Amino acid sequence: MGKPHIYLDHNATTPLSRAVTLAVAKNEWLFGNASSMHRRGREARAAVEEARAQVAGLINAASEEIVFTAGGSESNNTVLRTLLDPPDGSIFARERTGLVTSVIEHPCILKAAEHLEGKGLPVSRVGVDVHGYVNFQELLEMLNSSTGLVSVMAANNEIGTVQDIAAIASLAHEAGALFHTDAVQAVGKIPVDVKAMGIDYLSLSGHKIYGPKGVGALYVRKGAPVSPLIHGGHQEHGVRAGTYNTAGIIGLGVAAQEAAEGLRKNSSREAGLRDRLLKSIRARIPGIRVNGDPKNGLPNTINISFSGAEGEAILLYLDMEGVEVSTGSACATGSLEPSYVLIATGLGTELAHGSIRFSLGRSTSERDIDYVGDVLETIIAKIRAMSTLFEGAKI
């Protein structure tokens, strides 16, 4: 009997759901340009607008507030780059071009912030506590009359920490700024309501919710200023030029509807499996540290540091046993540096290098979790036996 194939890297990407696959295949014939006025164009446009309503429904937005993009990175860059080229008369055009963000954002936010800083715009980065929660006192001190935008991710991709987005948005608004959240990891896993949370801009991505890669969406609250990142045609009310990716958008719409309908059930099931895995690891393996806040974090995510064991070695040994995990963000793969997210929480370099992220999904079963616990115990013992760093003491 061969080894199982257990995928525990759903925060990096998810497989297409069966419903999404069928919907894309069913509409294979829908090749018309959704901007054309003839019959085939109108049919494609109708499918695009249906998907727009489905995405809007997932986050309690109005359909006209949804802009289709190529994914989370484009959505994030569109919002932040608006500070550089603001629409006339907008808040950003009235000397409120400062950005406040956090030190644990996704690389696309951090790099975009660096770009803004290089162009002379004021950028402040708020720190986090040991669990990855934004320091509210620091945030308050950074907000001033030049702050135009506050951008804080809803949930962290590496450690699963879920921020109090409603409270952060409220502080931003009280200071006269607008609020953006990168909700790529949150949408579809926890309830996200743009109205109730006071969100002005929100980014999401199809491939994180069992939809296609290369398609995402940007929520722009009605009246909030936004400038196009991609200039060209009139698509998306002039906010995002380019011929519509009709098949991808259809897939995103179906994925959004599935996520909305199954949110409570899937979140509860994955949280139970997450807790089962954590209990198993704690019972079997000494010298571990749980990063983030699993009690209040994403229901599918656990990040654990194993003292005296390199994360890459753990990953490769697990892979040989049929288990696929991550040492952190997939966007940082190839870097020899320890996770900047873990370092920001105060974790030491050695423990940061020994960290593994387990991100569960719809296909994860109790049998999978029990198997991982079995093989992980053996793997950690094997690695530690070759290490001079581990002395057997619990952290």
208 burial (CB, 10 Å; 0-12 / 13-18 / 19+) is buried
The angle subtended at Cα 58 by Cα 243 and Cα 234, nearest 5°, is: 20
- Please give the structure tokens belonging to residue 177: 């700024």
- Please give the structure tokens belonging to residue 148: 């135009």
User: CB within 8 A of 22, min separation 6: which ones?
Assistant: none
Taking the C-alpha atoms of residue 254 and residue 51, their distance in angstroms, rounded to an integer, is 7
Residue 108 appears among annotated catalytic residues: no
How many C-beta atoms lie closer than 10 Å to residue 373's C-beta?
A: 18
Hey, is 103 helix, strand or coil?
A: coil
Hey, is 393 helix, strand or coil?
A: coil
Dihedral angle, C-alpha 383, 389, 390, 393, nearest 10 °: -160
Candidates 140, 166, 320, 331; catalytic one: 331
Taking the C-alpha atoms of residue 179 and residue 199, their distance in angstroms, rounded to an integer, is 6
In angstroms, what is the C-alpha Rg of the chain?
A: 22
Taking the C-alpha atoms of residue 305 and residue 355, their distance in angstroms, rounded to an integer, is 4
**Among 214, 251, 202, which residue's Cα sits nearest to residue 69?**
214
Hey, is 363 helix, strand or coil?
A: coil
- Please give the structure tokens belonging to residue 384: 């530690």
DSSP readout, 208-276? GTTS-TT-EEEEE-TT-----SS-SSSGGGGTS-S---HHHHHHHHHHHHHHHHHHHHHHHHHHHHHHH
- Sheet with strand 123-126: strands edge to edge: 66-69, 216-220, 201-205, 178-182, 147-151, 98-102, 123-126
Which of the residues are catalytic? 331
